[in-house]
């Protein structure tokens, strides 16, 4: 059964270009090591009137921020673990030019989880 890593991240609108560049590089690395899909998307309709908690509330988005919803698809959880291990060892992920470069988002407000797919239509 497929497995998905999902992320919800608040990003300053001023940092969207930097985030997009970082995400493009990351997507290339994950795909190179076997991820089936790598999707990064920016919020468009973030306050639907459905009740409950919306994404901006979940990540405590501040004025001037939007929300990124991302996911990576794998064959299984074991495949995810194999791919992520390779990604962490990839030279691109360990390039010294990124060592002290700040992330274009507040990682302390990122929501993340791994999910086993139960329905695929």
Q: 102 falls in which pLDDT band (50, 70, 90)?
A: confident
Q: Of 62-71, 91-100, 110-119, which gets the smallest average pLDDT? A: 91-100
Residue 55 in tokens: 């994404």
CB-CB contact of 74 with 4 (8 Å)? yes
The structure's pTM equals: 0.90
User: pLDDT value at position 90?
Assistant: 93
User: pLDDT value at position 99?
Assistant: 75
Mean residue pLDDT across the chain: 93
Domains and CATH numbers, the chain: 12-70+77-116 (3.30.70.100)
Q: 101 falls in which pLDDT band (50, 70, 90)?
A: confident
DSSP 87-102: HHH-GGGG-GGGTTPP
């Amino acid at each position: 059964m497929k497995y998905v890593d999902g992320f919800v991240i608040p990003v300053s609108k001023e940092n969207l270009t930097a985030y997009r560049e970082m995400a493009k590089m990351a997507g290339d690395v994950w795909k190179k090591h076997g991820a089936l899909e790598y999707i990064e998307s920016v919020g468009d309709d973030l306050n639907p009137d459905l009740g409950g908690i919306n994404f901006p509330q979940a990540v405590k988005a501040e004025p001037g921020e939007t929300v990124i919803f991302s996911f990576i698809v794998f064959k299984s959880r074991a495949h995810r673990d194999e791919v992520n291990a390779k990604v962490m060892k990839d030279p691109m992920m360990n390039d010294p030019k990124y060592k002290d470069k700040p992330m274009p988002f507040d990682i302390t407000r990122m929501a993340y989880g791994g999910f086993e797919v139960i329905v695929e239509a």
